[in-house]
Amino acid sequence: MKVLKFGGTSVGKPERMHEVARLITKDGERKLVVLSAVSGTTNSLIEIGDLIARSAHEAAFEAINKLHESYKVFIKGLYATPQGLAEGESVVSKHFDFIRSLAEKPYTVKESKELVAEGELISTQLFFAYLQEKNISSALLPALDFMRIDADEEPVIPYAEEHLRKAIEQHPDTVLFITQGYICRNPLNEVDNLKRGGSDYTASLVGAAIRAEEVQIWTDIDGMHNNDPRIVKKTFPIAELTFDEAAELAYFGAKILHPFTIRPAKLYNIPVRLLNTMQPEAQGTLIAHHTIEKDIKAVAAKDGIIAIKIRSSRMLLAYGFLRKLFEVFEKYKTPVDMITTSEVAVSLTIDNPTHLDSIIDEISVFGNVEVDKNQTIICIVGSFGSQKQGVVAKVFDSIEHIPVRMISYGGSNYNVSILIDTRHKNEALNALNEGLF
Ligand code: ADP
Ligand code: ASP
Ligand code: MG
């Protein structure tokens, strides 16, 4: 069975939902379809939540009404029959009643998560009702019944495996299964989510859980491009990537994939294909274990990086220093992305500022600490084994006019990372495009 995930723009208009229905029914094969919220909905829900949290109730209700109106228009375009429309109206009014109820009671993190889950709950129920209107048989499987995260916010694949398999077994004759991306339950059994863009992650997690033959991520672009198409004009799709290359690009900013999507796929060796709903015949990108060897494949950029430099003469010829330093980051569950060292200093980067002040306090005992915010990691991905020549020279020739704060090369065979001030990001991505491709 294949897993097909359709993102926000792919279900963002009634015509797009019609197209998704056409795409999933074309070959008659059994599949599990993961849907995101209608594009813009999750952003609106988060804005509504912020207003409720600030007790700006009038503004919150105004925003809820506006979103509700947009769905009333949406369903008029989605359904062709009075029965279909009545079903759509019932779905929408039920969910907006619930959203309004959240604005009327004490609002905590728990309620904020229930609120943002509404996007995927609405889109899947509207789509399911559309399939029913078209007499297309399908089953709607609630993601909240099988998607779980543990206390460290790690998804629990064995739980999904057990519960999703059982759910599918209850529908032996069903060909199409529909479920929600992004949403899950936490160890308290509350509604939670896999963070922004998390529907991609749902797709690979359920793909792993059912040992899918392939996971397809259908979006609004024809695959992973060699550079960020939002910033660079002449980018092109990459036909093939390894799991490691794709994971690196996703983690370092290629928005087409949630940063962790590749992990479960790699673990269970499930190929991931990136495809374009607007151009279904395009080849897209295939992500798998082995691919075409090619020097430099792509560039991505991740913003919001904080660089921390610790300078200490105690490091000179000492051992155990790095362990003590990294224990502080471990204590605050703050991942470190890049590291460079010299005899008397270590520079590293983090992207989660939550515990920055406590971390600085604790590492200050080791030496003098400098912090630079608003940094960007530019990640250049390809196959650069230790025998490869000239990769680094090409990269630095391309960006010779841009100040570089840190460089990381040789950590793996497939990436060079450089840290620059975010002010220079667009210029660097464009210069790398000119110089490398
Ligand atoms: P969806 O709503 O389908 O999940 P997203 O907006 O999350 O879609 O991801 C698709 C978008 O990712 C594209 O429209 C594109 O602007 C952006 N993007 C950023 N970097 C890349 C890249 N390297 N290749 C392709 N798309 C990219
Ligand atoms: N709807 C969620 C978001 O906008 C999840 C997703 O689309 O992948 O972040
Ligand atoms: Mg996305």
Are 204 and 317 in a shared domain? no
Amino acid letter for position 360: I
184/331 same-domain check:
no
In terms of domains, do 189 and 324 share one? no
Establish if 112 belongs to a structural domain: yes
pTM of this structure: 0.94
Pair (13, 116) in one structural domain: yes
Contacts of 295 (CB under 8 A, 6+ apart): 382, 383, 384, 388, 391
Is 229 part of a structural domain of the chain? no
Which ligand gives the minimal distance to the CA of 198?
2
- Tell me, letter by letter, the H, E, C secondary structure of the chain: CEEEEECCHHHCCHHHHHHHHHHHHCCCCCEEEEECCCCCHHHHHHHHHHHHHCCCHHHHHHHHHHHHHHHHHHHHHHCCCHHHHHHHHHHHHHHHHHHHHHCCCCCCHHHHHHHHHHHHHHHHHHHHHHHHHCCCCCEECCHHHCCEECCCCCECHHHHHHHHHHHHHCCCCCCEEEEECCEEECCCCCEEECCCCCHHHHHHHHHHHCCCCEEEEEECCCCCECCCCCCCCCCCECCEEEHHHHHHHHHCCCCCCCCCCHHHHHHCCCCEEEEECCCCCCCCEEEECCCCCCCEEEEEEEEEEEEEEEECHHHCCCCCHHHHHHHHHHHCCCCEEEEEECCCEEEEEECCCCCHHHHHHHHHHHCEEEEEEEEEEEEEEECCCCCCCCHHHHHHHHCCCCCCCEEEECCCCCEEEEEEEHHHHHHHHHHHHHHHC
Contact partners, residue 247, CB within 8 Å, separation at least 6: 262, 263, 266
CATH code of residue 95: 3.40.1160.10
User: Is 183 a domain residue?
Assistant: yes
Residue 318 has pLDDT above 80, yes or no: no
The whole-angstrom separation of Cα 147 and Cα 156 is 7
| 211 and 318 share one domain | no
Q: Are residues 335 and 187 in the same domain?
A: no
Mean pLDDT across 96-123? 97
Domain of residue 32, residue span? 2-219
Q: Which atom of ligand 1 is nearest to the CA of 230?
A: 16
pLDDT band, residue 291 (cuts 50/70/90) = low
Q: Which amino acid is located at 400 in the chain?
A: E
Domain co-membership, 23 together with 146 = yes
Residue 317: its pLDDT value, please?
64
Question: Which ligand gives the minimal distance to the CA of 219?
Answer: 1
Q: Determine, yes or no, domain membership for 233.
A: no
Q: Are residues 210 and 324 in the same domain?
A: no
Question: Is 393 inside any structural domain?
Answer: yes
CATH number at residue 329: 3.30.2130.10
Q: Is residue 273 part of a domain?
A: no
pLDDT for the residue numbered 316: 64
The domain boundary, picked from 162, 190, 219, lies at: 219
Residue 290 domain flag: no
Is the pLDDT score of 137 beyond 80?
yes
Cα gap 291→243, rounded to integer Å: 9
Apex CA 177: angle with CA 250 and CA 129, to 5°?
Answer: 110
Atom of ligand 2 nearest to the CA of 195: 9
CA distance 162 to 146: 8
Around ligand 2, the residues with Cβ closer than 6 Å are 7-8, 36-37, 42, 119, 181-182, 196-200
In a domain, 254, yes or no: no
Mean pLDDT of 48-75: 97
The mean predicted confidence, pLDDT, of the chain is 95
Residues having CB within 6 Å of any atom of ligand 1: 7-10, 36, 197, 219-221, 224-225, 228-230, 254-256, 300
Model pLDDT for residues 265-281, shown as the tens digit of each residue:
999 999 999 999 999 99
pLDDT tens, position by position, 381-403? 988 876 778 888 999 999 999 99
Q: For the chain, what is the domain count? A: 2
Per-residue model confidence (pLDDT) at position 320: 83
Rounded Cα gap, residues 287 and 265, in angstroms:
9
Question: Is the domain of 48 the same as that of 189?
Answer: yes
Residue with tokens 């570089």: 404
* Atom of ligand 2 lying closest to residue 8 CA: 7
Pairing type for strands 368-382 and 296-311 reads antiparallel
Q: How big is the chain, counted in residues?
A: 437
- Given this model, what pLDDT does residue 85 score? 98
Residue nearest to atom 6 of ligand 2 (CA): 197
Among 43, 256, 437, the mutation site with the greatest number of ligand 1 atoms within 8 A of its Cβ is 256
As a whole number of angstroms, the distance between CA 198 and CA 138 comes to 24
Same domain for 417 and 330: yes
Residue 342 pLDDT exceeds 90: no
Query: Final residue of a domain: which of 219, 236, 258?
Result: 219
Percent of the chain at pLDDT exceeding 70: 99
Nearest atom in ligand 2 to the alpha carbon of residue 37 is 1
Q: Which of 178, 204, 219 is the last residue of a domain?
A: 219
